[in-house]
Amino acid sequence: MQVDVNLAACEGHGLCAQVSPGIYEVDDEGYVRMRVYEITPDLEPAAAAGARVCPVAALTVVK
Amino acid sequence: MPGSAARVETDIDMFGADFVRNPFPAIARMREQSAAVYSTKWDFYVLTRYDDVRAVAADWQTFTSSQGVALTPEINSAIEGTILSTDPPGHTVLRGILAEQLAPRGLGKIRADMSAYAQQVVAEQVARREFDAVVDISRVFPINVVGDLVGLPAEGREHLQPGADATFAGFGPFGDYLIAHVEEMGKYHAWLDTMGDRSKLLPGGWGEAIMDAVDAGKISQLSATRLITAFLTAGMDTTVNAISALIRLFAERPDVWRALKNDRSLAGPIFEEILRYHSPVVGFWRVATQDTLIGDVMIPAGAKVQLNWAAANHDPAKYANPGEFLLERNPIDHVAFGYGPHACAGQGLARMEAVTLLEALADQIDTIELTGKPVQSLNPIVRGLESVPVRVTAA
C-alpha cells in the first residue's frame, strides 16, 4: 500500500498526525510529511486511518 | 434504469419551522428508506448517509459546484464564479489567495492575540454574572476576531452576523425565515460592496492580501469583493452558532463542563463533538454531471443533490448513538466543515477560536447555569440559537 500525498492541497490541519502520529507529522513549514519510508502491512491500518481524516482529501490510499 | 430501485419521494418541507426545530427524526426515516430521497416540493435528492455525503463531496467531477450550490437560481446566479461555486482549477486559484493566512501554519502567530481577546470578552461577562451567551459572547468574539483579521473598520460590523445569517438562509428556498430577514441581507451586502477598496481596509489584514492579488493580476476586482464577502459570511454564523451550542451544552451538561475545567486539552475534542452533534451548517447542493448511482438510486445527469452534513453527522452507521453528545468521541472525521476541495477553508481558524474561547471560559468561570429556556433560531440552513441566558460564578 502507498499513500499519495497532494502537497498542493495540504493545509496543515494536522488531523492525520493526530490520528496516526507514527505515520504522519506536520513539518516546520506546516505541511504533512511521512515518518516512514515504506508502509509495511502492519502499518497499513494506521496509514489508512490517518489518510481518511484529512479534511481536504490531500491524502489518498493507493493499493 | 437498470440496477436502480424505485425512487423514494418525500413532500415534507425541509425548510419549514416544524422541520427545522428538530430535523433528526425525519432525517433518520429518510436515511432508512433510501440512500437518496427525492423532494417533490423542491426538486432535489437529499443525501443523508455519511459515506455517500463524504464521497460525493470529494467527487467534484461527477458532482459539480459550478452549476449552483444553493437551491434557488437567483442566489446561484449571484454567487456564480465565486469560491463556493467553482470547481478546480479555477477554485484552486481562489482558495490559494488566503491559503497561507488561513492554514494552521499561518495562524500560529495570531494565537496569542486571539487568546488575549477571548479572555477579555469572557472577563467582561463574568463581571456581569448574568448575560446572554449568544448576544454577549457568541456574536461578539468571532465577529471581532474575523473583522480584525480581515482589517474591517469597526463601524458597520453590526451588519456582519445578521447579514451572514440571512445570506446562509438564502441558500434555501424563499421561505418565511428568509423573507423576514431579507432586509438584513440587503444592508449587509450594500455595506460589503464598499469594502473592496484599500482605503477602507486596515493595512496588514487579509482584505489587503486579497487586494494584493488583484494588483498582481491573479483575480478581478469583482472577484476580490466577492472573496471578502465569502470569507466573512462563512466566518460568522457557523462559528457563532457552534459557540452558542457549546455554552448551552456546558450549562446543561455539568459533567462536560467539569471535564473541561479539569483538563484543557479536552477543548479540541469537545469542539469536534459539538460540531458533529449540533452541525451548524445543514448542507449545500451539487449538480450531477452524469447519471450516477448513489446506493441503489440512479441520480440523473442535471439533478440536484443536497449534501446534508447534519444528516451525515447523525448517521448511526458511522456514529453510534448519534443523538448523544459523547465527551470521549472526538469525531474528527465529521463533515460539519464539509469535505474535499470545498471543505471549510477557515476550519483551522474556527478551531483556534473555539479552543481559545473554551480556555478563557474554563479559566474564569466556576459554574454555569441557564436562567431561562434557550431560544432556537429557525434559519433553515444554519442551525442556530437566538438566546442562551446564563448565570455564572467566577472561578
| CATH code at position A53 | 3.30.70.20
Q: Is B2 contained in some domain?
A: no
How much is the pLDDT for B106? 87
Please state, for a pLDDT cut of 70, what percent of chain B lies above it. Answer: 99
Q: Is B259 contained in some domain?
A: yes
DSSP state of B136: I
Average pLDDT of chain B, as a whole number = 95
Q: Is B338 contained in some domain?
A: yes
The answer to whether the CB of A10 falls within 8 A of the CB of A39 is: no
Q: Indicate yes or no: CB of B332 within 8 angstroms of CB of A56.
A: no
- Predicted TM-score (pTM) of this structure: 0.95
> To which residue does cell 440587503 refer?
B186
What are the pLDDT digits (tens) for B112-168?
A: 999 999 999 999 999 999 999 999 999 999 999 999 999 999 999 999 999 999 999
Q: Indicate yes or no: CB of A56 within 8 angstroms of CB of B99.
A: no
How much is the pLDDT for B74? 87
How much is the pLDDT for B5? 65
Residues of A in contact with B340 (CB under 8 A): 56-57
CA distance B317 to B306: 19
Range of the domain at A18: 2-62
The answer to whether the CB of B93 falls within 8 A of the CB of B227 is: no
Q: Is B3 contained in some domain?
A: no
Residues of B in contact with A19 (CB under 8 A): 332
Q: Indicate yes or no: CB of A14 within 8 angstroms of CB of B104.
A: yes
Residues of B in contact with A12 (CB under 8 A): 103-105, 348
CA distance B308 to A40: 37
Q: Is B321 contained in some domain?
A: yes
CA atoms within 13 A on the CB side of B388: 25
**Residues of chain A predicted below pLDDT 70:** none
Q: Per-residue pLDDT for B214 more than 60?
A: yes
Question: Best interface-test mutation with B: which of A13, A15, A32, A59 has the largest number of B CBs within 10 A?
Answer: A13
Q: Vertex B139, ends B135 and B143: CA angle to 5°?
A: 155
What are the pLDDT digits (tens) for B65-94?
A: 999 999 989 889 989 999 999 999 999 999
Q: Per-residue pLDDT for B2 more than 60?
A: no
Q: Per-residue pLDDT for B1 more than 60?
A: no
pLDDT-derived band at B193 (thresholds 50, 70, 90) equals: confident
Q: Which cell goes with B281?
A: 451548517
Provide the β-strand partners of residue B287: B64, B304
CA distance B89 to B87: 6
| CATH code at position B252 | 1.10.630.10
Q: Per-residue pLDDT for B209 more than 60?
A: yes
What are the pLDDT digits (tens) for B305-341?
A: 999 999 999 999 999 999 999 999 999 999 999 999 9
Q: Is B316 contained in some domain?
A: yes
Q: Per-residue pLDDT for B10 more than 60?
A: yes
What are the pLDDT digits (tens) for B247-302?
A: 999 999 999 999 999 999 999 999 999 999 999 999 999 999 999 999 999 999 99
Number of domains in chain A: 1
How much is the pLDDT for B3? 52
Residues of A in contact with B102 (CB under 8 A): 11
Range of the domain at B387: 9-394
Element of type H or E holding B224:
helix B221-234
Kindly give the residue spans of alpha helices, DSSP state H, lying in B16-110.
17-21, 24-33, 50-58, 73-78, 90-97, 99-102, 104-107
Stretch B349-366: mean pLDDT: 98
**Among A4, A2, A30, A1, which residue's Cα sits nearest to residue A17?**
A30
How much is the pLDDT for A27? 94
Number of domains in chain B: 1
Identity of the residue in B92, B99, B340 whose CB atom sits nearest the CB atom of A57:
B340
Q: Which residues of A lie closer than 8 Å to B, measured between beta carbons?
A: 8-9, 11-15, 18-19, 26, 29-31, 52-53, 55-57
